[in-house]
Chain A
Amino acid sequence: MVGIALVAPAILVILIALVLPFIDAIRASTLNRVTGEFVGLEHYLWLFTDGPFWGSLRRSLLWTVGNLVLQGAAGIGVALLLQWHFRGRDAIRTVILLPFVVPSAVTAITWRWLLNTTYGPLNSWLVDFGVIAGSFNPLNDPLTALGGVVLINTWRWTPLVALVVFAVLQTIPREEYEAARMEGAGYLREFWHVTYPHLSNSLAVLGLLGFLLTFNIFDLVWLLTAGGPVDATNTLAVLIYDVAFAMRNIGRGTAISVVLFVLLFAFVIGYFQQEEFKEGGQFE
């Protein structure tokens, strides 16, 4: 039928670019990297007992949750600032997207330059104004590195979150605000009783998608810190790359990937069972 023909190309692309390689990866996770002989679950064992899995998992969770919370708060905040019309709002709405549209490589370069202890403006100004004692690059300090990349990633994605929230805000009937105002509600009450209820549905969906997407982010972290210093930013995604590529241990790397996939898959299933999902049309 026509329907099947139309959906076929998409399925084909996914099969070729995702399913096939993944099956291959699963196969590779059971082999010894050097000899190619079958070693069963040896890599998995290493992963859970000897390996850096747990540390990376912890970092991935911190990374994801941190990002979601910050992006959510900042995104909603910016959207609220844009909510009521003013001259030039459309222009500003366009311009703030800048951090998001720019390639992550450029973002990494830009921030590394900004935070540069010797030549970067941030350090030099902060020191000049006496805010900090000496030059400091958060990306170079194991204690602050994870926080640093989280902040930079938040900076990158907040505009998109803001834009989406903004679109949702536009659908809230003005009359609801007017009714609240007649009943004497101030700004905060307006937010709690009118704005938030309308937002919460979208936020749930965005939260889920954001979780999955953020969890798997590799490029920005790698380009900023390469997993360092001293593993401080070695999230699972970075770990996989590190082990599989840099250390050339394909078996172990793919084993981590399989575990990661299973984890996320379980998470999504759990999420759907728990969440009474509105008919968003995706599974129709």
Chain B
Amino acid sequence: MNWRRRRQLGQLLRFSLLGVVLIVFIFPFYWMLRTSILPTQMIYESTALIPQGFTLEHYGRVIDQGFLTPVRNSLITAVGTTILTTVVSLFAAFSILRYRYPGRRRAAQLVLLTYMFPHVALIIPMYMLAASLGLLESPITLIVVHTMLALPFCVWILQSFLMDIPRELEEAALVEGASEVGAFLRITVPQAKPGIIAAGTFAYIMSWGEYMFAYVLLTDSDAFTVPVALESLLSGYVIEWGILAAASVLATLPVLALFWLMAKYLGEGIAKGTGVV
């Protein structure tokens, strides 16, 4: 049957292409992983796909060199950013959708404005501001900056999730005697859970990987976050790729923890935001 053969060929093509796509996306990381467990000698000699040797010395040295400190710093910053961003953007999205007050439109536009901004323009003024407040090495500065960076996106996502929650659900709670705050906490928030997760994971991943502001605002190497620490490894005279690979793997692990959540909720979150889903 011509029709059936065509289907089969189609499927074959489809899965082949998918295979190629998978390789393209995953291979680089596989290579880094492989490099990180290869003895130094072999790193520079072999380009075999399957690692011919195994060692954990690179990881050992990376940790000895104090790499866990930036990891801890990044974790603090990322978690702080996630919490702050999620709460602030949830409030803002809810406010814009459910209330009417003068300046509401302006507020919504201001949030969007943040998005189109060349943030690179802010690094020096931000540095000077933080310096004058004595907050240069504190994670607070970076948390606030990261929140600013994540806000427009998170407000946008949450707005579209909140829009899907029928007002009647909240009204029913009001009629049953809940206060406005009560209705918000008991009804709106649980209903908006997917949106909150989408926004939260975005904030976390963005904060973890943010390099520019972190580089400028953290000058003391004890306060470095992971991207900054990685870059400092890169800019030495001699680049030790084994260590770099191990550090890269370590840098990625905390992000992978939320990976699955992100895949599940973020795509849908953005699609909702474009007003379609």
Contact = CB atoms under 8 A, between A and B. Distances in A.
Direct contact of A and B (CB under 8 A): yes
A21 B241 contact: no
A140 B88 CA distance: 43
B111 A104 contact: no
Contacts of A268: 116
A80 B127 CA distance: 45
A194 interface: no
Contacts of B35: 113
A168 B124 contact: no
28 contacts: A2-B180, A3-B99, A7-B92, A7-B95, A10-B91, A11-B92, A11-B107, A14-B114, A21-B125, A22-B121, A81-B17, A95-B25, A99-B28, A103-B255, A105-B251, A109-B234, A109-B248, A119-B43, A164-B267, A167-B268, A201-B274, A218-B212, A219-B210, A237-B120, A245-B124, A264-B116, A278-B275, A283-B105
A113 B270 contact: no
Contacts of B5: none
A106 B251 contact: yes
A274 interface: no
B54 interface: no
Closest 5 pairs (CB-CB, A-B): A3-B99, A257-B121, A163-B267, A103-B209, A167-B271
Interface stretch (A41-49, A62-70, A205-213): A205-213
B221 interface: no
B26 A98 contact: yes
Contacts of A205: 273-275
B169 interface: no
Contact of A216 (B112, B117, B244): B117
B147 to A, nearest CB: 5
Interface of B: 10, 14, 17-18, 21-22, 24-26, 28-29, 31-32, 35, 43-44, 47, 84, 87-89, 91-92, 94-101, 103-105, 107-112, 114-126, 128-129, 144-145, 147-148, 151, 155-156, 159-160, 163, 180, 205, 208-212, 216, 226-228, 230-231, 234, 241, 244-245, 248, 251-252, 255-256, 258-260, 262-264, 266-268, 270-277
Given A13-B147, A168-B271, A1 B99 contact: yes
Contact of B29 (A1, A5, A102): A102
A21 B126 contact: yes
A20 interface: yes
Contacts of A78: 21
A36 interface: no
Contact of B211 (A103, A119, A261): A103
Contacts of A155: 24-25
Given A10-B88, A105-B209, A258-B121, A4 B259 contact: no
Interface in A227-284: 236-237, 240-241, 244-245, 250, 253-254, 256-258, 260-261, 264-265, 268, 278-284
Interface of A: 1-7, 9-11, 13-14, 16-18, 20-22, 24-25, 28, 77-78, 81-82, 92-106, 108-114, 118-121, 124-125, 155, 159-160, 163-164, 166-168, 170-171, 187, 198, 201-202, 205-206, 209, 212-213, 215-216, 218-219, 222-223, 236-237, 240-241, 244-245, 250, 253-254, 256-258, 260-261, 264-265, 268, 278-284
B31 to A, nearest CB: 6
A98 B29 contact: yes
Contacts of B29: 98, 102, 110
A17 B126 contact: yes
Contacts of B28: 99, 110-111, 114
Given A124-B47, A265-B116, A279 B275 contact: yes
Contact of A106 (B115, B159, B248): B248
Nearest to B250: A106
Contacts of A118: 44
Given A7-B96, A10-B111, A13-B151, A216 B119 contact: yes
B276 to A, nearest CB: 5
Nearest to A219: B211
A105 B151 contact: no
B231 to A, nearest CB: 6
A282 B10 contact: no
B115 A212 contact: yes
A121 B145 contact: no
B211 A3 contact: no
A240 B120 CA distance: 7
Contacts of A212: 115-116
A29 B73 CA distance: 33
Contacts of A14: 110-111, 114, 148, 151
Given A6-B94, A167-B277, A282-B108, A103 B32 contact: no
Contact of A93 (B95, B255, B263): B263
B97 A125 contact: no
The CB with the most chain B CB atoms within 10 A, among A167, A205, A213, A218, is that of A167
B111 A94 contact: no
Given A4-B99, A11-B107, 7 more contacts: A7-B96, A98-B259, A167-B272, A212-B116, A254-B124, A264-B116, A284-B96
